[in-house]
Amino acid sequence: MSGSSPLRRKLSVLGSTGSVGCSTLDLMDQAEKAGTGAFEVEALTGGRNVARLAEQARRWKPRVAVIAEPGLLNDLREALSGTGIEVAAGDAAVVEAATRPTELVMAAIVGAAGLRSTWAAAGTGATLALANKESLVCCGPRLIARVAAAKGRLIPVDSEHSAIFQVFPADAPERVARLILTASGGPFRKTSLADMARMTPEQAVAHPRWSMGAKISVDSATLANKGLETIEAAYLFDMPAEKIAVVVHPESIIHSMVEYVDGSTLAQMGPPDMRTPIACALSWPDRLSWPAPRLDLAALGALTFEAPDFERFPALNLARQALIAGGDAPTVFNAANEVGAYAFLDRRLGFLNIAAVVAETLERAMAEGVMSGSDDACEAALAVDARARRIAGTIVAQRAFAA
Q: Could you check whether 7-156 and 169-268+305-399 share the same CATH topology?
A: no
Q: What is the pLDDT of residue 216?
A: 85
| Domain regions of the chain by residue span | 7-156, 169-268+305-399
Q: What is the pLDDT of residue 20?
A: 93
Give per-residue pLDDT as tens, 360-399. 999 999 888 766 556 688 889 999 999 999 999 999 999 8
Cα 95 to Cα 93: distance, rounded to the nearest angstrom: 5
Give the sheet arrangement for strand 104-107, strand by strand. 86-89, 64-67, 37-46, 7-14, 104-107, 127-130, 153-156
Query: In this prediction, what percent of the chain has a pLDDT beyond 70?
Result: 96
User: For domain 7-156, which architecture applies?
Assistant: 3-Layer(aba) Sandwich (3.40)
CA atoms within 13 A on the CB side of 201: 14
Q: Domain 169-268+305-399's class?
A: mainly alpha
Query: In this prediction, what percent of the chain has a pLDDT beyond 90?
Result: 85
Give per-residue pLDDT as tens, 86-138. 999 999 999 999 999 999 999 999 877 899 999 999 999 999 999 988 899 99
Lowest mean pLDDT among 23-27, 48-52, 231-235, 381-385: 381-385
CA atoms within 13 A on the CB side of 171: 0
pLDDT (average), residues 55-70: 98
pTM (2 d.p.): 0.91
pLDDT (average), residues 46-57: 97
Q: What is the pLDDT of residue 211?
A: 66
Give per-residue pLDDT as tens, 11-40. 999 999 999 999 999 999 999 999 999 999
Q: What is the pLDDT of residue 376?
A: 82
Q: What is the pLDDT of residue 5?
A: 80
Give per-residue pLDDT as tens, 253-312. 999 999 999 999 999 999 989 999 999 999 999 999 988 889 999 999 999 999 999 999
- Which string of b and e fits 348-385 if b means at least 16 CB within 10 Å? ebbbbbbbbbbbbbbebbeeeebebeeeebbebbbbbb
Q: What is the pLDDT of residue 401?
A: 64
1 falls in which pLDDT band (50, 70, 90)?
A: low
201 falls in which pLDDT band (50, 70, 90)?
A: very high
Q: What is the pLDDT of residue 215?
A: 87
For residues 379 and 237, the model is more confident at 237
Q: What is the pLDDT of residue 403?
A: 44
